[in-house]
Structure 1
Amino acid sequence: MSWDLETGPLLRVRGLEKRFDLDEGLLESLKFSGGKITRQTRAVHAVNNITFDVNKGDAVCVVGESGCGKSTVARMVAGLISPSNGEIHYGGARIDGLRGKDLLPLRKKIQMIFQNPYASLNPRMTIGQTLAEPLRYHNPGKSKGELQDKAIAVMKSVGIDPAWSARYAHELSGGQRQRIAIARALTVDPEFIVADEPISALDVSIQAQVLNLMLEMQEAHGLTYLFITHDLSVVEHFGTKVIVLYLGSICEVADTRTLFSNPKHPYTKALLSAVPQLKDDRPNHIRLKGEIPTPINLPAGCPFASRCPLADNRCAAEKPMPLQKDDGSIVACHAVEEKRIDALDWV
């Protein structure tokens, strides 16, 4: 299998869906309704028909509320879980159906940084062993000395003293542990990093250090990022493109500057209004009302309709299709399509 990058996006996702079954056994699926016993299966619709591209060298940020499907998207792209429908292409080759040994070439290309550095590092392994494990697994022909030299070089590159190799994870702070997690991802020389909220478990002062480190590593190693976060202030500093998710569906896709200067979807406007701004002496926050629909029984129309002040009968009955605007952004909203959002001061 060839992983040479063809002309076009490094990562191409088309119609991606993920459902998690709630009723796995026969007895769980049997329901008594109308005097009859019927079989009904329920599922959580975590990701619903999303499509996007990631170009080489980009830092694409996926944002949205907790439970909107961000981490599920990250795990499908990294090959940790399989999609229910849709396709994932990397470097021109389809990867969503790979299993077992066929995944090995992909593991060296795509690495993942997890959210919680207190849980993602093995407490029984020293830092040296943690970094040596992926090196030994992916480079069986290299000697122990070569592997050790590589681990030391990676530790230095992320600002970790090689003398810490004999320490265990519990002896380090959260920021130091996340540096080790970043170093572990870099040991196999990947070209694509999936980062699932890598700074949310850290203190604010440490978050900036880790973000700056990731930017330095991007420049030094030519990395491409898929960055999962709920913090839009981080997106403005880190991302080149933003994907806004709501209830597993894409609301808006735009480059970072366009999204922050001219958000179009009502949900994006509400998210950005919640970002603290020092220059705003009178912040005009958009307070959303209504209930979030359950991902078990998705609404027939727009998933945001129950909370959107611009929703009408069409929004409740018909799911909006993504449309590309003149500035290159992609928006899935009937109000934007019909220019109702421009004509009404709903803020």
Structure 2
Amino acid sequence: MSNSPAILELKNLEKRFELDKGFLETIKLKDKRLVREKREVHAVNNVSLEMERGEALCVVGESGCGKSTVARLVAGLLDPSGGEIHYDGERIDGRSRRELIGLRKKMQMIFQNPYASLNPRMTIQQALEEPVRYHNKDLSNAEIRDKVREVMKSVGVDPSWAARYPHEFSGGQRQRIAIARALTVDPEFIIADEPISALDVSIQAQVLNLMLEAKEERGLTYLFITHDLSVVQHFGTRVVVLYLGSVCELSDTKTLFEAPKHPYTKALLSAVPQLKDDKPNHIRLKGEIPTPINLPVGCPFESRCGFADKRCKLEKPRPLKQPDGSIVACHAVEEDRLDV
């Protein structure tokens, strides 16, 4: 990491969702007594990380690990239950929508489902013009049309398609249009929430390469949410591995794939198909994933880890920096009792 200020910093970020909304839902019978008990889903738990300008940080983990919640917290679509979010040195969590207008131009989001992220009643021209008009009040109609035309060309969308509606396009074409919409306001930071998972495999590489080209040409920074580790290897500069809303491991991509340290990271990587492997060495995880409603007292991965001991059951591991620069939250790694 360089000494330049971080473009994004998360400090002890937390997000909990209440399950019991009304008063009656919180009343429970325990030991023949009525008690009031609020249940919450602990989606994001004490996540801290920094991002530099120009990097592509990939957030990976199983479904339900809190990846998309982190993306929505950073984008301001959800309010954190605890912790802080800083963008370019300024704290942005808890601000009103009006206060975030200036930030919206710098930070854009590409959603997972290209079939749901475009308004079916708007032509492509209208959908792409809308953010330009909103963020650039001084531009003339001709300048707005020129801007839209230029961005459409840059993402491989034929400007002659502008009068068509979203239902006339395939998933890959729609996702290109969604990327174009994000780029029309010249952002510097893009949050991509599983942007290729809804696409055919043959189209995924095209969209990924398009996003990489945009990164190089425009100097973009990406927060890239994915569950596909083969995509991470191709796209990411650094990787953060989440499990039950907690950071297991944070490392640069090369180090993570060559020398994973956390037992969960090793299990994830062992499941990635490799052409050179004639004898794949898959790590099969046993045990149940704990519920995010009642999180374990100790390490969230303890119930499925082959290296867990009494300390893992009772004490949450702290993220500690390793000699190669990666950060790992694991008692077994800290005590050097893994067969690395």
Please, what TM-score do these two structures have when normalized by structure 2? 0.98
CA contact (8 A) 1:336 1:342 kept: no
Residue 88 of structure 1 aligns to which amino acid in structure 2? I
The answer to whether the aligner puts 1:250 opposite 2:247 as a matched pair is yes
Residues 91-148 of structure 1 show CA distances to partners (whole Å, capped at 9, x for unaligned) of 1000012112100011001100000101111111110011011111111222211111
The answer to whether the aligner puts 1:270 opposite 2:267 as a matched pair is yes
Question: Match for residue 321 of structure 2?
Answer: 324
CA contact (8 A) 2:57 2:223 kept: yes
Instruction: Give the SS at the match of 1:86.
Output: strand
The answer to whether the aligner puts 1:114 opposite 2:111 as a matched pair is yes
Question: Match for residue 283 of structure 2?
Answer: 286
CA contact (8 A) 1:29 1:39 kept: yes
Question: Match for residue 30 of structure 1?
Answer: 27
- CA drift of 1:157 comes to 0.6
Instruction: Give the SS at the match of 1:298.
Output: coil
Residue 157 of structure 2 aligns to which amino acid in structure 1? I
The answer to whether the aligner puts 1:171 opposite 2:148 as a matched pair is no
Q: Could you tell me how far apart the structure 1 residues matched to 2:140 and 2:173 are?
A: 28
Q: Could you tell me how far apart the structure 2 residues matched to 1:154 and 1:183 are?
A: 6
CA contact (8 A) 2:119 2:127 kept: yes
Q: Where does structure 1 differ by over 6 angstroms across 4 or more consecutive aligned residues? A: none
CA contact (8 A) 2:4 2:52 kept: no
Question: Match for residue 69 of structure 2?
Answer: 72
Question: Match for residue 43 of structure 1?
Answer: 40
Question: Match for residue 194 of structure 1?
Answer: 191
- CA drift of 1:34 comes to 2.1
Q: Could you tell me how far apart the structure 2 residues matched to 1:326 and 1:144 are?
A: 56
Instruction: Give the SS at the match of 1:141.
Output: coil
Instruction: Give the SS at the match of 2:116.
Output: helix
**RMSD, aligned α-carbons:** 0.9
Q: Could you tell me how far apart the structure 2 residues matched to 1:189 and 1:255 are?
A: 27
Residue 122 of structure 2 aligns to which amino acid in structure 1? M
Q: Could you tell me how far apart the structure 2 residues matched to 1:109 and 1:78 are?
A: 11
Q: Could you tell me how far apart the structure 2 residues matched to 1:58 and 1:320 are?
A: 27
Residue 29 of structure 1 aligns to which amino acid in structure 2? T
Instruction: Give the SS at the match of 1:283.
Output: coil
- CA drift of 1:27 comes to 1.1
Please, what TM-score do these two structures have when normalized by structure 1? 0.96
Q: Could you tell me how far apart the structure 1 residues matched to 2:172 and 2:277 are?
A: 31
Matches within 5 A, 1:46-65: 46-65=43-62
Residue 171 of structure 1 aligns to which amino acid in structure 2? E
CA contact (8 A) 1:64 1:245 kept: yes
Instruction: Give the SS at the match of 1:51.
Output: strand
Unmatched runs of 5 consecutive residues or more in structure 1: 1-5
- Residue identity (%): 72
Residues 293-326 of structure 1 show CA distances to partners (whole Å, capped at 9, x for unaligned) of 0000000000000000111111011000000001
Count matched residues.
Answer: 338
